[in-house]
Chain A
Amino acid sequence: MLDQTTLFSASTVHLEHITTALSCLTPFGIKDDVLIIIDKDGLSFARQNNKVISIQLYLSAELFISYNYNPPNNDPDAHHKVCVKIHHILDSISVASRDKDDVVECTLSYNGEGSPFVLIFEDSVITEKVEYSTYLVKEWDSVGLELQPDAITLECIMRGDVLYNALQDMKEIGCKECYLYAIAKTGGKNTFALVSRGQLGLSKILLPSEKSILKKLEIFDPVSFEKTFDLPVIGVFDFTSFDKIRSSARIASKVLLRKDVHGLMNVNILSQTDDLILGEVKRSRTAPKVGTMPLSRDYPGIVIDVAILEKARLDEADVSEMRLLMESSEQIPRPIYDPTGVPAKSFEGNGAATPERDNCLLFGVRNMSADITDTAAGEYVPATNDIPLFF
């Protein structure tokens, strides 16, 4: 119904998919403007909050049945920007898709500066047209939120649902500050953990280190940027910001986390439509829609790119506390799982105080030797020295 001369028009029937995608933007401010960048490959929805966190969500042109972008001079690099409020679009879509048995075709169009952003919903009986004013155009400002690719200290690929579960847990226990702890061990055993500091004190969520879930974990030396082992990378984030990626992680199939030496973490989320968890559930609940078209084969899925700035640089106390937490807990569950383990055996079984102390001194020494490379090792000495006071 739109002529081919409009600057941009695209139509789709995958409203549900678009809703799912756009709802990832809502934690970044539902009533705020989102910048839509239109170019020949698709639509990017971008938003940044207070210059500490930004999100870009990319919907590929393959999602649309028809996608027309006619830049003035047929310039292949041309793009247009338009600002709309994200909840307006979501509300309109949810209103339009009330009839579950009908296919709703949605057409988006925009005719350049000064013209409204138009959504047209058509089902078999009704055609609705919604226009949004587009007075404001915010310039995209990503200063400080761009990853420095040659100064990366952590690169990690994992499955999205695991990250989502961990974030969900942290939210529920009332996390205030969130630490990210990652270490690649020489033996091939990698550890990726999220540590929460909040009402409960420190809580730790250890993500599975299995290759099928934690697909890749690489740590780079902060100076030489060479791959290194047994050196943890610790990041600290304000949980209210970090939690913003939760709704994106929910639909993610794969998450790529990268952190550079300046304390910027970049989270790349790919949501492949076939293993999109939320979609699966929804689809099975509402019986297959009549005439629902499968998403195009070429469609790469939703791509979300989030950049989060670290809250503050860690001080020594934090680092040592974190290490202690990670190491103490590594040793605690082991006796239960692996009662034949040597340290566990020596630790158990003797109730007398003197051998116990010997053990613990050994224990402390062992800890120290493990940490000898780090300045934080100094933190352990008083702890072990304290012990005789109690006897």
Chain B
Amino acid sequence: MIFKASISSNQSHTVWRKVIQNLSTFHEDIRCTITPREFIIWSMNSTDTSMSQARFKCGFFESYEFRPEETVFGEDGLQQVQDQQLNVHKLYSFKINGKLLAILFRKPESDNITTLHLAIHNGATCPESLANRFQITIHTESLMVKEYGPNIVPIKYDPIVINLRYKKRFLDVYGGSCEDQEEQLDPRLLEMFKAFDRELTQSYFNSDILSTGKRSNALTPEDEINYLCCNHQLLKNFIDSCNTSATEEVKVEVSISKLCLTAFTKGIYSKNNDVLRNAIRATNIVGTNDLEHYCLFTTAGDENSKRPLAKAISFGMKDFKNFVNMAAFWRGDQDVNIWFCRPGDPIFMELVKDDLQLELVQVTDSGDAVQPMGSKVTVTRNSPLRNSVVKVASPRKSPLKNKGPLTPNVADNTHSPLKPKSLFTTEDDEMQERQQQRWKNPIRGKRRLDDEDQETHPSANYEHQQHAETAAHRTQTTIEWGDGRPNLTNDGPGPGAALDQRGMLRQEKKKFLRDLRVQRGKDHQAQTGAEDEQFGPTQKDRPKGLFD
């Protein structure tokens, strides 16, 4: 017995079944890899456009035994990987017919599975008939015992490490600056940074990812990565509300203020403009307040465009829908992590709960990819221009909602970000406020500087001193709180504003806080009693007493 595992809990059976069923929709064959720590099942469709992976930690199983050293039959599946710490791990991989597997694990009619045993014998004592068989024993409530031995084909695992790659890049881009700005970051986001970092270092397959070494400080447009974390229910609602059978693609568009999820099908017209297929489009828009976290990568080029910055990416609906629906077995609220880079790069989604990690990778549509203006940067590393044009403004926001842990905050005495969002401010107000903030923000105000750059750009010889001043610093990363953040009523950068923007920001903040405190005091005096009596728009100003 080189592998033996069992699942007993009812909930786990459901999860196991759903996952297998879902993965079998990708491709006829699904691939499994057994490691000492987890059981990985993955499947990629025949056109290599989407891939899904489920990783069951050994804790998911009631019992879990893996003894690769006993392998005698099917040695092709045996494999060793070395991780960053030069530890060697043994794996065993095989592929199996997914459709059949899905049938085997389906719920028996008017019956329930009580225990499920999985085993691969392939050891020295393995009889010929059990060699390269995935032995499945199912005990049902009606006392039936079913044993199946589907054939397996031992293969080598080819880890698709897009997961680790993206996390690494994400940490490089956003996580790097957290040391010096710790006090401004949402602790929960920091938590996630830590978790991803842990995952990276512990993974078996991190050797060629971590070994690439820490990149240089400067960010280039190639580094672009955007991150989105939202509740699973949000995606589920989207899937449920749009007509998934008629739409083929999904577009995710995220900007500072809102997230648009669009399900669409492109129309097809013949030469005579006859409709061959109707175009259809359904959009769900949610405010970014409803997201857990999001990190956007913006370049100076984006900033210059008229419309507010938005990151858009579109990909196929079918597998996305399956993925979201598959995760529906945890009725609770799980957070989905989504990473995407530029259009054309794969999008990666991840859902983690307890002992199971579900992943989906899909290629994205690069058709209407607009090259950011920053891309005029040459790839040569020593070009001084490179740094001057690229500007990272990652509005790393994480609305705390009302459950975030308390942290000492500079704005504690004013609008605490921890304070629940005031219920009755209208959406318009907020948008306006946000827009104002956006444009008044001293860091965003750096546009002038960029304009300057562009003016001076034609002369390819850019002064080196300028370079020092305009280099893309991590400190330029805007870090904003979710709602109710202090309204930065600063004056914008004067022409002679110091280029040390961090210092400037501090200064501005201090000034602002002072102002705010004064303002607060005034306001408070003005409406001492009135405030308490504010009710919602549908409520009467003064509620009627029982005996009125």
Binds A, one of B127-135, B418-426, B442-450, B511-519: B127-135
* Chain B positions 411 through 455: 1 when the CB is less than 8 Å from some CB of chain A, otherwise 0: 000000000000000000000000000000000000000000000
Q: Report whether B119 and A200 are in contact in the complex, using a CB–CB cutoff of 8 Å.
A: no
Q: Report whether B67 and A351 are in contact in the complex, using a CB–CB cutoff of 8 Å.
A: yes
Nearest-neighbour CB distance to chain A for B7, whole angstroms, equals 11
From B117, B144, B151, contact of A207 by CB (8 A)? B144
Q: Report whether A324 and B127 are in contact in the complex, using a CB–CB cutoff of 8 Å.
A: yes
- Contact flag A202-B129 (CB < 8 Å), given A208-B144, A333-B137: yes
Nearest-neighbour CB distance to chain A for B2, whole angstroms, equals 11
- Contact flag A203-B103 (CB < 8 Å), given A332-B137, A336-B63, A360-B125: no
Interface size class of A (residues with CB under 8 A): 35 or more
Q: How many residue pairs between the two chains, A and B, have CB atoms under 8 Å in the bound complex?
A: 96
From B67, B69, B144, B148, contact of A173 by CB (8 A)? B148
* Chain A positions 352 through 367: 1 when the CB is less than 8 Å from some CB of chain B, otherwise 0: 0100110110011000
- Contact flag A324-B144 (CB < 8 Å), given A203-B149, A332-B119, A360-B124: no
Q: Report whether A390 and B72 are in contact in the complex, using a CB–CB cutoff of 8 Å.
A: yes
CA of A374 to CA of B47 in the docked complex: distance in angstroms?
53
Query: Is B147 engaged at the interface, CB distance under 8 Å to the other chain?
Result: yes
Q: Report whether B108 and A200 are in contact in the complex, using a CB–CB cutoff of 8 Å.
A: no
CA of A144 to CA of B133 in the docked complex: distance in angstroms?
40
Nearest-neighbour CB distance to chain A for B117, whole angstroms, equals 6
Q: Report whether B129 and A165 are in contact in the complex, using a CB–CB cutoff of 8 Å.
A: no
Number of B residues whose C-beta is below 8 Å from A? 38
- Contact flag A173-B108 (CB < 8 Å), given A210-B143, A336-B117, A390-B124: no
8 Å CB contacts to B: which residues of A297-316? Answer: none
Q: Report whether B145 and A201 are in contact in the complex, using a CB–CB cutoff of 8 Å.
A: no
Nearest-neighbour CB distance to chain A for B92, whole angstroms, equals 16
Query: Is A168 engaged at the interface, CB distance under 8 Å to the other chain?
Result: yes
From A168, A202, A206, A333, contact of B149 by CB (8 A)? A202
- Residues of B contacting A172 with CB < 8 Å? 103, 106
- Residues of A contacting B106 with CB < 8 Å? 172
- Residues of A contacting B119 with CB < 8 Å? 332
From B115, B117, B150, contact of A200 by CB (8 A)? B150
Smallest CB-CB separation from B108: which chain A residue? A165
- Residues of A contacting B133 with CB < 8 Å? 201
Q: Report whether A173 and B142 are in contact in the complex, using a CB–CB cutoff of 8 Å.
A: no
- Residues of A contacting B145 with CB < 8 Å? 204-206, 333
From B4, B69, B109, contact of A168 by CB (8 A)? B109
Smallest CB-CB separation from B69: which chain A residue? A351
Nearest-neighbour CB distance to chain A for B66, whole angstroms, equals 12
Given contacts A162-B144, A207-B144, A359-B125, 10 further A-B pairs with CB under 8 A are A165-B111, A166-B144, A199-B100, A205-B145, A329-B147, A336-B6, A351-B70, A360-B125, A390-B72, A390-B124
Nearest first, the 3 A-B pairs at minimum CB distance are: A208-B143, A206-B145, A360-B125
Which residues from chain B sit less than 8 Å from chain A, CB to CB? Answer: 4, 6, 63, 67, 69-70, 72, 97, 100, 103-104, 106, 108-109, 111, 115, 117, 119, 124-125, 127-130, 133, 135, 137, 139, 142-151
